[in-house]
Amino acid sequence: MTRDSVIVLQHAGPVGAPGMPEWGQLPIPKKLLKEGVRDMVRISDARMSGTSYGACVLHVSPESFVGDPLALV
């Protein structure tokens, strides 16, 4: 994983994770935090709180659990 990496979280939408939990706020890996990275792109079919931060693409639909393009990543 490098500072140019993208974090992808799958199966966190309403079908893959019933109830659609707030899993979208993925932490930056400790290795990258030590290198000074403070934000990175995160893509998921999950949701997250409106008080969260960072470069995120969430609520990807249809979700990966039902075979959308996110499932191929």
Catalytic site positions: 49
The one-character DSSP state at 62 is S
How would you list the strands of the sheet with 7-9, edge to edge? 7-9, 42-44, 56-57
The one-character DSSP state at 27 is P
Amino acid at site 62: P
